[in-house]
Structure 1
Amino acid sequence: MFPNQITAKTLVIIMALGSLASCKEQPKANIDFLSLSEQEKRNPEYALAAMEVEEGLNLELFASEPMVTNPTNMAIDAKGRIWVCEAKNYRLFANPDNTYDDSGDRILILEDTNGDGKADTSKVFYQGEDINAALGIAVLGNKVIVSVSPKVFIFTDENGDDLPDSKEILFQGIEGVDHDHGVHAFVFGPDGRLYFNFGNNGKQLLDKNGEVVLDMHGQEIVGNGQHYREGMAFRMNMDGTNLEVLGHNFRNPYEIAIDSYGGLWQSDNDDDGNRGTRINYVMEYGNYGYRDLLSGASWRERRTGWHNDIPKRHWHLNDPGTVPNLLQTGSGSPCGILVYEDKMLPQKFQNQPIHAEPGHNVVRAYIIGESEAGYTAKIENLVKSKDDWFRPDDVTTAPDGSLFISDWYDGGVGGHKAEDIARGRIYRLSTGSDYKVADIDPKTEEGAVKGLLSGNMDLFYQSWQKLHSMGEAAQPFLTELREKGGIAKARALWLGLHIPTKSNDYIELALLDEDPKFRMQGIRMARFKGKESLEKYLSLLENDKSPQVRREAAIALRFIGTEAAAELWANLAVQHNTGDRWYLEALGIGADKFPELYFKAWRNKVGENWKSEAGKEIVWRIRAKESVPMLVSLIKDQTVLPTKLASYFRALDFKDHPNKDNYLMEMLGWNHPLKSQIQAYAIGQMDAKFVYSSPKHIKMVKEVLPKIEGTPEWIMAIKNLELKNQNEALFRVLANGSNTDIGKEAANLLLNNNGATLIDTFLHSQEPESSKIAVLERLNGISNPTAVALLKENIGSQDLGHALTRKMIETLGNTGAGQEELYQMLKEDRLAEDYKTTAVLKLMTSWNNEIRTNAPKFLSSQEDGALDISKLVELRGNASHGKEVYSTYCSSCHMAAGNGIEFGPELSDIGNKLSKQFLYSNIIYPSAGINFGFEGYSFRMNDGKTYTGYILSRTEDEITIKMMGGTQKTLELQDISEQESLEQSLMTEGLAHIMPEEDLVDLVAYLETLKVAREEQ
């Protein structure tokens, strides 16, 4: 037994707890839920009253508090027992009101012993601090795999007493400790391998000895951009060997789901508030675009040709080499997902992904359709709740085919904060109330044949292992299963692949099947077998009538790199249809390891026909050197559409060619209908060393600059080439430009070039006040000492009027250096009473503890005493007035319904995501629940300057941060002397204590109205 094994006495079945659960008042489904008080809504007996359930299905409350609390993930064993990871100790440092349990979190086994559909017994399988806030559990026979960053454990119960006899480390070193973006659950696939994923805070995999894990191709599993970025999806053998990265550059995929044919599906969460949540079909080895693939930059950082729509811009979908999304669902907090391959639920849900979406209080299915080489999806709800505390975070199939749903049950959806640690629920969705598990023994041949068809992972796993162990003796049973068709046939083919003497026969059976699903499976089976015969197998399908089959064939060529493989790839490429992005990206994935060889084979095959629309797309995507002059010729084409130009230039970023800069320089002199646009894109991409290597180059660039003034590329050129003497133009763009982001960048450059006098003259001119305020808006977050001095001097003079002075105080308070000056003005009583509230609101966001703590003391109206959230939630506010309160207190840092500044998380859908109680909690205690990606940092520079903000991106040489006011700043690592992580939120701490209670209630009422309809894109 290992050191923190808890005693057998603790692990006995808690019959008293079971009795409590069975005798308590049963859930009431015929109650008007919305008429209940906020406290009544929290009671388990009213849980079903809030539910809207798909017709023909029955929802029962299987278990609730106190039997289970804070469930994060589930597994169901072959006996039908529910294994639950609890997270009572979830991020307690951010939830100071919750009590730490030093016994650690638990893995529970819940059981319904009398078949009435309700748990009546509970036992503890394991408890310990080493599994605090585990996010994944898989039960596979006597093995239990628990995912809890920084480790993945394998517990083994050798004697079947529901106590672990050993605990081994499978992986460690995974970052994201006590964090939602770490490692998630493991899944057993029909091919006999394990699948899992981690979010963008996982960063790496180390083995049990602390060594960096190498994938089967010898590449380190580290998300530093050398091979892989951000979140990843993995596949490996049961013993951890032959690990593959199946996809990377996700943000936070909570789970991965695999269907019986080998298709992979998962969800992914956006940066909070940007309505970019998505569902992915995981095209193997693809890049999924959370960060810039080349630089690792945030999606917020400007790039050529980005999408105007932020949800699409978010995933770099304009970049060659980004796999398209199956579906974008708008806002949300996607969690557990599976492919339902059982029979109890209605037919429309069978063989479809089913997903827990706590952000919208719903469990839903994605009904998949085909679209050329890709897919479409339509949402169908199974369970939707009126209770905004219903937070379904996992779905699991039981041996009888019913669907179990775990409910975190909280005012929020994780994301660093728990409103409550005393509640949690498990539901069962079925066609009846009784829960009877069929008596199937997977250790027998007959039982294994039946169990292999189950949607329950453990029963399927045990059955798979039994048939696998039989070798050739299993063939009669596999033949019987193949004749059934569907998933029975698919699973039998996978098992046949594992019979060494028969594997080729089973591969050919699949490849020659009339159904394209089996032909795709056959390609995956052939890849499993190895590269030796792969070209022979793929030659059978290179002209397949199904673009989805050809998609899989293209991907399968990725690691071969022979002349024959290049010919196969070329044959697949000539069958590409214009606009089929799925097929195009499959071709790219297949060619990325050998782009020169594969592209040359295609070029030889198509000849001058490469200029077809489909051929142009292949030139755009494939990263062969030969494609660069071809892409240049497409740009030079006199009939090229303006919408294509940005896309072509963006593609050049991903291509390497010794003459690329010369090509760009030549473009400056072209006589072309789109000359100005071409010049702008070309000059924005030029390398500084190349430009300054020749006086002729410098002269050409300077001649073009005035013609592209105010464009993003103009800004990029001034930055990259460090051009001086552009102050007059920079001020024109600052004062008159239509693009706010470009105006801010121009302001920063102007101040760095000693152009503050132009701004000061303008502020004291006869120009309209609205124009001056617009200029001040663009100075937000700029911590240049000249800007700080300019603002301080004008605030002190008080000769610019009330509105301008107030705006200057807000602007000054958006930087660390400015806050220090503003605080000094408060201390020296150099601010009029009318301006003190504005100043204090800004200073309460300071990273400096003295400033943050003492600033409110300068308000005579400050009130002491704690706010009672339980009383506040029962009050009804005025949303119309709340909108005005929002403009006063919140809009300088948040966007909502198009109003405000994009610094903190966007609030346009906050009413969907957070309950009323959670809204109050986040306003009153903002540091308790800082959204991931918005953690604050202070950077002290070698020259003494200090910058405060959150990190947008990090490269080997620099960090880009976003500061108060929405301004971005790039800091060279060599110039940073100290970096400090801030414990408090960048949001105003104590805001609720300086506004009247009526304003607070009205503000929450307004925030509750901020709900964006789901977007299917």
Structure 2
Amino acid sequence: MPNNLLKLSTTPFQKAFFGMTILVVLLFTISCKKEVQEAPFSLGEKYYSDSTQLYLPDDLEATLWAESPQFFNPTNMDVDIKGRIWVTEALNYRLFRNDPEKFKHHEEGDRVVILEDTDGDGKANTSKVFVQDSDLTAPLGISVIGNKVIVSSGPSVIIYTDENGDDKPDNKEVFLTGFGGFDHDHGLHAVVAGPDGKYYFNAGNAGPHIVTDKSGWTLRSGSLYNGGSPHMRDNEPGMVSDDGKMWVGGIALRINPDGTGMKVLGHNFRNSYELALDSYGNLWQNDNDDDGNKGVRVSWLMEGGNMGYFNPDGSRKWQADRRPGQSTVRAHWHQDDPGVIPMGDSTGAGSPTGLTFYESDLMGEKYRGTLLAGEAGRNVILAYKPETMGAGFNLKRHNLITSLREEEVEEAKSRATDEDKSKWFRPSDVVVGTDGAIYVADWYDGMVGGHRMIDSTGYGRIYRITPKGKNLPKPEIDLSTTQGQIQALLNPAVNVRNAGFALLAEKGEEALDAVKEILKDENPYHKARAIWLLANMGSEGMAAVESQLDADNPNIRLTAFRALRQTASDFLPYARQLSTDSSPAVRREVAVALRDMPQNDVEEILVALASQHEGEDRYYVEALGLAMDGKEEAIFPVLQQELGADPLTWKPGYADLVWRLHPNQAIESLKERALSPELSAAERQQAIAALGFIHDQEAVNAMQEIAASELMGAKDRALWWLRYRRNNEWNAFAMEIPELEANISPQIQEDMLELKSILENNTVPKQEKIKAAKTMAADRIGGQMLLALAEKEALSEDLMAEVSGVIFQNPEQATRVLAGDYFTHPSKPAPLSVSEITALEGDPAKGKLVYQGKCATCHRIGDEGRNIGPDLSMIGAKLDQEGLLDAITNPSAGVAFGYEMWLITLKDGTVASGFLQADGPIVVLEGMQNEVYNIKAEDIASRERFSRSIMPEPVELDMNEADVAHLTAYLTELNSE
């Protein structure tokens, strides 16, 4: 798509951040009418004028619609029926890491602000505070649905009701509470009204989420995740909800507007910032990866689907489950495990934010059906036109709006200075207005993500995107008339549609003919909205929906089935009718609808659906797996009789299905396939993998037989599965395999244990204790033991002082850094001068040498370096020079999620440290040398998670100002995959 450079000269209320200093100046020049309810800033803060470059298609243009001080730090937006933009602010964002003395914040709590363009000139000219509440700490979601303003601010979904329309809340209700992730990016996100009139929302993996709806149904969702905030509760893998299912990690939910009927729609993602629904009822989301793994994704969410971040019970991270030869991205999302939905589009490195689905024709027909996804880490709004592919979707990506045009990346590298703010465009949300325009909120900062900020003024702005040269007037909608309600239903703004939906559904037969007319609309999304509504309008409305089961467009047939499934007393006749539909997507929808139905009622339909699977469609086989969830053992003999009596002649589609279901009854058939030289290596390995997911002694026995064979490829793969499963699901089963090397050797630690016993013995003379402590402080294992003792306050002041003189020379870098939490460095050099660094001109070639000498021991760039800390191959695309400088000079200000260091002490006194990869009967740590420690949970005496980053400050690596300037210049250039 061709691009057009748009240069926006902003008003003097724009911020900049030069080095680490805020100039003490008061300068305000107001060039347009702005109605603000508070003084813009206190003395000591200033905005600087600069210009912003945005690149977008030739047929579109952007204008600056609003900016600070009309609002600050925008996290999320919504649009009301008057066309006003509502914004949640996050000035009080992570103040435990961001100095409240330095950063603008609100002592009274964060706010919800209403912005409006009252004179139709394309810019907001009024700003008012709807609510400021101490219960709002960095809220991440807002929805305006009728007179209800729904704000998501962990741990609660809060509803403020404006009964009299004066733009002030008259009532406040805690709608739902118990979500994890207070003041945390991985917490609770925005609510959105679906085309069915129900509410949809999600929460990230900063659980546990223990939430009871208003009918008494309780969600319990936990996982291994436990980092990023001092407010985090202990997460717990393996919890079971009231539906009897185990939901883990990030979670997507639906609930009735009255707070009853909460239902899980998908789980096991890391942190989807927001859900978007199209009018067919499809759910779209994005998801962030573990920093540095280039696995950010934009996905379609199949109902009930497992998105694959953790293992099924949430006790293991992807690193603990990675198989030989797996790419990082496939391992990261468990893409080769049965029961996991395809990841969608892998977008590389980044920080995904808000998203929406554009269904209007007002921007031009080519934009109808476009998924828009904010990507703050890469300074871009991504665009997709999802294409049906089998039972799923193909997502082809292009940049719609960005501050860095692709062909100018090299130029952007060369001009990345303190004065250049091209990477400060951080789109936090994107919404569609009632006028059909696209509105983009810009957080505007040199940093992005759940760590810290650079901008201290809380500056933010909103852009309005419209067709070039075309006026998009704000419509006047009269909800007192049927026509006005129809107009609301067909409006481009997603939550505005709900007002029309609710009022028309309430009218019932009175509005039936007007709604049926929409079925003639050329816009298929409008037709879909009518279908959802008609299903709620009595028997005649239901009949109209039934007629759409034969529509030419499979999306309409699919929508009709979804609507009837929700409203009909018995939807199985419709399921039978569509079980042989020509569209795999329609059949997929039938399959997921059968998940919790008794087998006797749906067996015929299940067999019909399974018989049409020919292979090469992961979405379809996963839908079949969901349909047969809990029925695997009972349905397998039926499937075997109909589709696969001879294991060696299974068709690809059936082999895929058995791999997905992996019932115990299939063990012998899978073993036969694994040992058959008549099958291809891929077919044999698929059978071996299926056995690896069967938790039964017979599966272990079969795997041992395969490992004892001489069949090329099968033996080694089976041996890997035995060794791998020994440390998790097969731990309790009997097996005989070559022993793994001991991960923690008491022999290696024996000397240190003897010295530790001296420290703990009150009868030992002081000088002998000092000698033992100094010896331990100079040893890799001994240093870790001293950290454990210091954490328990088990060392006297004298010993602490003596250890301080030695431990900062410990051979283990992590020990040297973490010692700073307990011991006093006797001669730590003064911090580097940030102002001096910024005054220097860095040389990227010299910076590469600095990386190789100082950073490659922990960080990888391309094929160089080690995978201990985050991969830096794309860091220049995420942070500008100032952000990089802050990350290098203040490493502990923001520890990357998942890179928190743990220290485990066993009951026998031995210790191990590393990154926690699994927490179950076997606890898995990955150590600083990439060694893996497999520790029985029953052997652990204590465990400690450190909040300090193990990345040293530059002075601790003997780096000077010039080294940091060169390194920053080099890292700024790293923009390619």
TM-score range, shorter chain: 0.7 to 0.9
CA 427–306 in structure 1, closer or farther in 2 if over 3 Å, else same:
farther
2:451 to 416, 428, 436: 416
* Aligned-partner residue type, residue 745 of structure 2: N
Return the alpha-carbon distance in structure 2 between the equivalents of residues 348 and 665 of structure 1: 57
The unaligned stretches of length 5 or more in structure 2 are 1-26, 35-45, 222-234, 241-245, 405-421, 756-775, 790-797
Distance 1:157 1:590 in 2: 43
Partner of 1:313: 331
State whether structure 2 residue 875 is matched by structure 1 residue 910: yes
Aligned to 1:244: 263
- Superposed counterparts of 1:911-990, under 5 Å: 911-955=876-920, 957-989=921-953
Q: 1:874 to 1:371 in 2, by over 3 A?
A: farther
Aligned mates of 2:429, 2:877 — CA distance in 1: 19
Deviation at 1:606, TM superposition (A): 2.2
* 1:491 alignment counterpart: 529
Match of 1:98 among 94, 103, 108: 103
Q: Which structure carries more helix by proportion?
A: 1
Contact kept? 1:205, 1:212, Cα under 8 Å? no
CA deviation profile, 1:816-841 (whole Å, cap 9, x unmatched): 248899x999979999xxx9989696
Over 3 Å counting, the alpha-carbon distance change for 1:296 and 1:349 in structure 2 is farther
Deviation at 1:185, TM superposition (A): 0.3
Q: Which amino acid aligns with 2:336?
A: N
Alpha-carbon contact 1:199-1:231 (below 8 Å) kept = yes
Matched, 1:505 2:510: no
Residues in 1 aligned to 2:804 and 2:746: alpha-carbon distance in whole angstroms: 33
What is the CA-CA distance between 1:501 and the residue it aligns to? 2.6
Does structure 1 residue 465 correspond to structure 2 residue 483? Answer: no
Match for residue 569 of structure 1? Answer: 606
1:185-236 CA distance string (max 9 Å, x none): 01101111111011111331424899772599xxxx9863541110011111
From the superposition, tell whether residues 184 and 687 of structure 1 become closer, same or farther in structure 2 (CA, over 3 Å): closer
Deviations 1:965-1004 (A, max 9, x none): 3333344444444444433222214647952100010111
CA 1:197–1:830 in structure 2 vs 1: closer, same or farther (change >3 Å)? closer
In the alignment, is the contact (CA less than 8 A) between 1:88 and 1:421 conserved in 2?
no
Contact 1:69 1:88 in 2 (8 A): yes
Whether the aligned pair in 1 keeps the contact of 2:205 and 2:270 (CA below 8 Å) is yes
The Cα of 1:855 is off from its aligned counterpart by: 5.6
Name the aligned partner's letter for residue 618 of structure 2. Answer: R
RMSD: 3.6
Taking only the aligned residue pairs, the percentage that are identical comes to 34
Aligned to 2:825: 854
Pair 682,362 (structure 1): closer, same or farther in 2 beyond 3 Å: closer
**Contact 1:924–1:992 (8 Å) recurs in 2:** no
- Change in 2 beyond 3 A, CA 1:482/1:393: same
Alignment of 1:314-463 (within 5 A): 314-386=332-404, 387-422=422-457, 423-431=459-467, 432=469, 436-463=473-500
Pick closer, same or farther for the CA change 1:668–1:265 going to 2, 3 Å.
closer
SS of equivalent residue, structure 2 residue 169 = coil
- C-alpha displacement of 1:692: 13
Deviations 1:835-871 (A, max 9, x none): 99896966541245244x40643xxxx3x366335x6
Residue number among 229, 235, 249 corresponding to 1:230 in the alignment: 249
How many Å separate the matches in 1 of 2:532 and 2:597?
Answer: 23
> CA shift at 1:542, angstroms?
1.5
Aligned twin of 2:975? 1011
Matches of 1:908 and 1:689 in 2, distance apart?
A: 33
User: Does the Cα contact within 8 Å between 1:570 and 1:599 map onto a contact in 2?
Assistant: no
Distance in 2 between residues matched to 1:151 and 1:182, nearest whole Å? 10
- Does residue 520 (structure 1) correspond to residue 530 (structure 2)? The answer is no
One-letter code aligned to 1:996 = N
Of residues 991-1000 and 456-465 in structure 1, the stretch that sits farther from structure 2 once superposed is: 991-1000
Q: Which range moves more in the overlay, 929-938 or 944-953? A: 944-953
* TM-score, with structure 1 as normaliser: 0.79
User: Is 1:123 aligned to residue 161 of structure 2?
Assistant: no
Among 755, 771, 784, the alignment partner of 1:816 is: 784
- Partners of 2:50 and 2:61 lie apart in 1 by 16
Which of 67, 70, 75 does residue 73 from structure 2 map onto? 70
| 1:885 paired to 2:850 | yes
Residue 152 of structure 1: aligned partner: 157
Instruction: Describe the SS at the equivalent of 2:818.
Output: coil
Q: Secondary structure at the match of 2:396?
A: strand
Query: Against the structure 1 CA distance between its residues 836 and 941, is the aligned structure 2 distance closer, same or farther, given a 3 Å change threshold?
Result: closer
| Aligned residue among 30, 33, 39 for 1:20 | 30
Q: Aligned pair in 2 of structure 1 residues 362, 265: CA closer, same or farther (>3 Å)? A: same
Pick aligned residue for 2:745 from 749, 752, 765: 752
Kindly provide the CA deviation profile for residues 587-634 of structure 1, in whole angstroms up to 9, marking residues without a partner as x.
111111322333333222225366112221111111433222221221
Q: Offset at 1:169? A: 0.6
The aligned counterpart of 1:639 is 678
1:598–1:535 distance in 2 versus 1, CA, 3 Å: farther
Q: How many angstroms apart in 1 are the aligned matches of 2:449 and 2:604? A: 50
Per-residue CA distance 1:161-194 (angstroms, 9 max, x = gap): 1111111111112111100000100110111111
Q: Distance in 2 between matches of 1:829 and 1:106?
A: 46
CA contact (8 A) 1:960 1:971 kept: yes
Cα 1:595–1:512 change in 2 (3 A) is same
Paired with 1:212 and 1:543, the residues of 2 have a C-alpha distance of 35
Aligned-partner SS, 2:509: helix
Corresponding pairs, count: 871
1:544 aligns with 2:516: no
Give the TM-score, by structure 2 length: 0.83
Q: Does 1:289 align with 2:254?
A: no
> In the TM superposition, what are the counterparts of 1:720-739 in structure 2 within 5 Å?
none
Q: Contact 2:111 / 2:132 at 8 angstroms: preserved in 1?
A: yes
What is the aligned partner in structure 2 of residue 802 from structure 1? none
The answer for the alignment partner of 2:833 in structure 1 is: 867
Taking the TM superposition and a 5 Å limit, the aligned residue runs for 1:251-290 are: 251-290=270-309
Q: Is the 8 A contact 1:71 1:84 kept in 2?
A: yes
Task: Give the Cα separation in 1 of the matches to 2:777 and 2:932.
Answer: 20
* Counterpart code for 2:780: L
Deviations 1:58-97 (A, max 9, x none): 1011112222221100111111111111111100111124
Helix, strand or coil: the match of 2:656? helix
Q: Which amino acid aligns with 1:56?
A: D
Q: 1:20 to 1:210 in 2, by over 3 A?
A: farther
Q: Does the 8 Å contact 2:557/2:586 carry over to 1?
A: yes
SS of residue matched to 2:96: helix
Q: Does 1:615 align with 2:651?
A: no
* Whole-angstrom CA distance in 2 between matches of 1:826 and 1:891: 33
Q: Using the TM superposition, give the Cα deviation of residue 1011 of structure 1 relative to its aligned residue in structure 2, in angstroms.
A: 2.0
**Distance of 1:337 and 1:839 partners within structure 2:** 47
Query: Are the equivalent residues in 2 in contact too, given 1:349–1:365 (CA < 8 A)?
Result: no
Report the CA distance shift for 1:826/1:649 in structure 2 as closer, same or farther (over 3 A).
farther
Gaps of 5+ in 1: 1-16, 25-41, 706-717, 720-745, 757-783, 791-807
CA displacement 1:622-649 (0-9 Å, x = unmatched): 1433222221221121123334444322
- Secondary structure, counterpart of 2:882 in structure 1: helix
- Compute the displacement of 1:503 (Å): 5.1
**Separation in 1, partners of 2:893, 2:714:** 53
Superposition map of 1:507-906 within 5 A: 507-529=545-567, 532-608=569-645, 611-657=650-696, 659-668=698-707, 670=709, 672-674=711-713, 676-677=715-716, 680-681=719-720, 683-684=722-723, 701=736, 705=738, 718-719=739-740, 746=741, 748-749=742-743, 752=745, 754=747, 784=749, 812=780, 816-817=784-785, 844-851=816-823, 853-854=824-825, 856-857=827-828, 862=829, 864=830, 867-868=833-834, 872-873=837-838, 875-906=840-871
Report the Cα distance in structure 2 between the residues aligned to 1:877 and 1:615, rounded to whole angstroms.
Answer: 59
User: Is the Cα contact below 8 Å between 1:252 and 1:268 reproduced in 2?
Assistant: yes
Q: Do 1:847 and 1:986's aligned partners in 2 also have CA atoms closer than 8 Å?
A: no
Deviation, structure 1 residue 112: 1.3
